[in-house]
Amino acid sequence: MPHLVANFLRSSTGPIPHIKAVSRSRNTSRSNSRSASRNTSPHASDSEDRHAVKMPDLAEAIKKHHRLSLHFGRSNSKERQQHVPYSPVVIEWSVESPPVVFHGNTEESTGALVSGQIFLDIKEELVDVESFAATLKMVVTHKRPFQNNCNECQTQTTQLEKLELLAHPIPLRKGKHQFPFSILLPGHLPASMDTPVVSISYVLNAEAQYLTAPTDSETPSSISTAKFDRIIDVKRTLPEPLYPHNSVRVFPPTNIKAAASYISVIHPTAANKMTLKLDGLMTHNERVKTVDLWKLKKLTWKLEETIKTVAPACEKHNPGLAESANKGLPRSETRVIGEKSLVDGWKSDYTGSDGIVDMEFEYCVNQLKQHSRELKYACDTKTQDGTEVTHSLLLELVVSKEYAQEGKAHISHQTGTGRILRMHFAVVLTDNGGLSVSWDNEAPPVYEDVPPSPPEYAEDAHPIEYVDLEEIIAARTTAPNSRRGSQEL
């Protein structure tokens, strides 16, 4: 087979149509020669077929036709750009506010402010714009809807704000025209999320309708539409508690006791610390003068995320259901967003009357999305429609029982007995607010928020009579002159 490819690349001249014609003629001649040789000598025909196979030279064809290109189902970016239809009106935007972050829980948060400018880029000298409006919507998409292949069961859209940027039709000249906007998102809304069960996103849509000039004088002008949409990432941050949370667990029938100290509010991109102390790891046998030791061999932590939601039913699929199922079907899933196993890093002390193990470790979100370098997580939230996201830290400690002589705990022997100690700790995963504060704390007061002026003083029934300052000065200057005159007399 390799010699056929070599002959194909060495034995051809001429353009592509010529190559095809030569190939057809040679195939015809070979078929005629084969039919003739079958009548004479089969061995000679086989040898001629093995040495007479010659294919057109593709290399020469590529040299002469240098514009020959091969396409395998994809086109260049320049070609894709050429297929984009021309539009005399292009919509752009610029966000001037900080990242959209809700500070506090849904009961205490005052919301977040989204402000910026939307631009109408007019490409022609004059364009008649009929209308220009923008809407902010919250889109909830259920990955496991109530009824498969039903768009209404899968997606629920709520319009939060509508902005009429143009009150009436107006002709706009060539250039960029600015339209400022400001939207206050209420604090009870959920943050953006993308989970295997449900996703919540905020979409800003802008639409401008304009008149297009007719191609000839007979056809009237038509109305065209320019559209624009962008996704706004909304986050929520909760304040950290002043003091760490302390928890104590006992594992009967043993005397092992675990005391954990940790911050209950954690951040996905930070290293969160937990301090763990184990007591009661040594038991004394006075009769045989030995001690039983529980030694820690392995610690595994897992950060689990539980998503619960209710897939609602649309009006089409709702009538046939019972009253208890009118709200929808519950959906839930638990996934691991971070885990790690440790086999060292703690301090053990078996010299006293009670064995002790002290350690401090870090845990975080370390799972990535498929085909992406982004972290896979969703912050804690609870919405009015039944969506709830919670997190918990799971600890698994593998301990092995050993025995040793009294006073020689460092020389121990295996007993073949082991236990797995499991602990769950509730944690709250929230985004880091950074240096940002709530919008009502950093924004200056508006005119309506200015308090009223101080109270006026009431008029007194017996007003005080004030003397003019000039009269007092004149009286003081005339008094010495009168005294001098009296002395001269």
pLDDT digits (tens, 9 = 90+) for 82-108: 556 788 899 999 998 888 999 988 888
pLDDT at 327 exceeding the cut of 80: no
| Entry pTM | 0.69
Q: And the tokens for 272?
A: 């969160």
CATH number of 85-237: 2.60.40.640
pLDDT at 72 exceeding the cut of 60: no
Please compute the mean of the pLDDT values over residues 202-218 and round it to a whole number: 83
- Could you check whether 85-237 and 245-429 share the same CATH topology? yes
- Antiparallel, parallel or unpaired: β 112-142 and 170-185: antiparallel
Stretch among 175-184, 310-319, 351-360 having the lowest mean pLDDT: 310-319
pLDDT at 6 exceeding the cut of 60: no
pLDDT at 295 exceeding the cut of 70: yes
Q: And the tokens for 59?
A: 């290399």
Please compute the mean of the pLDDT values over residues 212-232 and round it to a whole number: 80
Whether 52 and 32 have beta carbons less than 8 Å apart is answered as no
* Predicted local distance difference test score (pLDDT) of residue 44: 43
Q: And the tokens for 35?
A: 């039919």
* Predicted local distance difference test score (pLDDT) of residue 70: 47
Distance CA 93, CA 75 (A): 29
How does DSSP classify residue 215? Answer: S
How many CA atoms lie within 13 Å of 269's alpha carbon, on the beta-carbon side?
6
- Percentage of residues in the chain with pLDDT exceeding 90? 45
Stretch among 104-113, 149-158, 209-218, 245-254 having the lowest mean pLDDT: 209-218
pLDDT at 141 exceeding the cut of 90: yes
Pick the CATH number of 245-429 from 3.10.20, 3.40.720, 3.40.50, 2.60.40: 2.60.40
* Predicted local distance difference test score (pLDDT) of residue 369: 77
**Cβ atoms within 10 Å of 486's Cβ, excluding its own:** 7
* Predicted local distance difference test score (pLDDT) of residue 287: 84
Instruction: Output the CA torsion sign for 437, 438, 439, 441.
Output: negative
Residue boundaries of the structural domains of the chain: 2-64, 85-237, 245-429
| Between 457 and 377, the higher pLDDT residue | 377
**408 confidence band (pLDDT: 50, 70, 90):** confident
Exposed/middle/buried for residue 152 (C-beta within 10 Å: 0-12, 13-18, 19+): middle
pLDDT at 488 exceeding the cut of 60: no
Exposed/middle/buried for residue 270 (C-beta within 10 Å: 0-12, 13-18, 19+): exposed
* Predicted local distance difference test score (pLDDT) of residue 339: 93
